[in-house]
Structure 1
Amino acid sequence: MRIVLLGAPFSGKDIQLEFIAARYGMVKISIGDLIRFEVESNSDIGNQLKALIESGRLISDELLIKLVQYRISLSDCNNGFLLENFPRTVLQAIAMDNAGISIDYIFEFDTPNNVIVERMNGRCFHPASGRKYHLKLNPPKVEGKDDVTDEALVMVNPMSESMLQQKMASYYLSAGPLAEHYIHQSKHRKIRYFKLDGARNAAEVSADLANILD
């Protein structure tokens, strides 16, 4: 299976990404991780990427597609893969099609802004280990203390409604047309497209995904 998950930050997408990867033994492919690996390896393509990043120029879709093509050619992707935060635009989706990178499923997580605000605010973490908590959704056993070490947690700065609106407007500028592109493809049976309610309990959403993919 080849799967793309669409959704704004804190839409519930990341939790389900982990669920699908674990349940079906699929590889998660992150463009950010691919870029970092190539840059650190000093490969030819890595040096190209490094030059672009250092000059502040955008990485071309052609170069990104080459990275994805190489990654999915490795044997650990034989059982399928999950693309994380890619494609982000219609042009990238078309470039993937032209490169012969087919996708079987698209899952879009539709989550209201007020739910996203609730999930974004109230976050805290343990600096030494990276353990994450949420004051409401995943609270520590003792307020303000790490469950394992009993050391103090650090709060993540909250985001205001206006800041979130700006962030979401930027996201939907590209995500809206991308979703429409895949919906159009699904009508021609080139792909299966599902929109899920990201505001629901994570276990309920996981159950829906399992019903579709099993």
Structure 2
Amino acid sequence: MRLILLGPPGAGKGTQSSRLEQKYGIPQLSTGDMLRAAVKAGTPIGLQAKAVMESGGLVSDEIVVGIIEGRIAEPDCAKGFILDGFPRTVAQAKALDAMLKRHHKELDAVIELVVDDQILLSRIENRAKETVAAGGAVRADDNPESFKKRLAQYHELTAPVSDYYRSVGELRTVDGMAAIDAVTAEIDAILGK
């Protein structure tokens, strides 16, 4: 089962990824975690990434896809994987497709959790207020202003990925505003087809 979960920050991708990991016995792959592991391990592609990061640059799509390529060759990905937060751009989506094709693999599903931005923002604001009221510190990514910036960046750069997968007939959408169990059931129904 090879899956991509799409959706803006706060849509519930992490929650659903955890459930899918447990149900199917496949890992959720974080590009950030994979990048750090490749750098730490000193792999050839990790050394390339390290050089780019140390110079203050952004790691290229080619390097990121190379890291994913190495990661999905590992034994725990034999039954599949979940990509959450990747691809972030149409160029990355096309590079991922080409890499999978080289390995005679294809995606089983690309699922987008569709949510209402205003309700997401309200949730973040409420969570921040509740944290402060309980005497806690608000996480940086729970700050409404930071969240608005992340949401705007998502719409500018990542939302076109949905259009790309829709154009090639792979995108399936799920109402991310539904209750968590209902979202899980809708994803299960898609994967059962």
- Which range, TM-score by smaller chain? 0.7 to 0.9
**Which stretch has the larger CA shift, 1-10 or 36-45?**
36-45
TM-score normalised to the size of structure 2? Answer: 0.86
Question: How big is each residue's C-alpha offset from its partner over 1:133-173, in whole Å with a ceiling of 9 and x where there is no partner?
Answer: x94xxx9xxx83xxxxxxx643336534x654443222111
* Residue 6 (structure 2) pairs with residue 28 (structure 1): no
**Which stretch has the larger CA shift, 166-175 or 14-23?**
166-175
Distance 1:38 1:53 in 2: 13
Residues 31, 86 of structure 1: 8 Å contact kept? yes
Structure 1: which 5+ runs fail to align?
125-133, 145-151
Residues 114, 177 of structure 2: 8 Å contact kept? yes
User: Which has more strand, going by share of residues?
Assistant: 1
Question: How big is each residue's C-alpha offset from its partner over 1:96-144, in whole Å with a ceiling of 9 and x where there is no partner?
Answer: 12222521201111111122113323447xxxxxxxxx94xxx9xxx83
Distance 2:62 2:157 in 1: 18
Distance 2:137 2:127 in 1: 9
Kindly name which structure, 1 or 2, has the bigger radius of gyration based on alpha carbons: 1
Structure 2: which 5+ runs fail to align?
none
The match for 1:212 among 167, 190, 193 is 190
Q: Matched residues, percent identical?
A: 31
TM-score normalised to the size of structure 1? Answer: 0.78
Distance 1:4 1:170 in 2: 19
Name the amino acid aligned to 2:73: S
Residues 109, 191 of structure 2: 8 Å contact kept? no
Distance 1:69 1:174 in 2: 23
Distance 1:212 1:80 in 2: 16
Aligned partner of 2:143 in structure 1 is: 159
Residues 48, 63 of structure 2: 8 Å contact kept? no
Query: Paired residues, what number?
Result: 186
Residues 124, 143 of structure 2: 8 Å contact kept? yes
**Which stretch has the larger CA shift, 65-74 or 169-178?**
169-178
Distance 1:156 1:58 in 2: 25
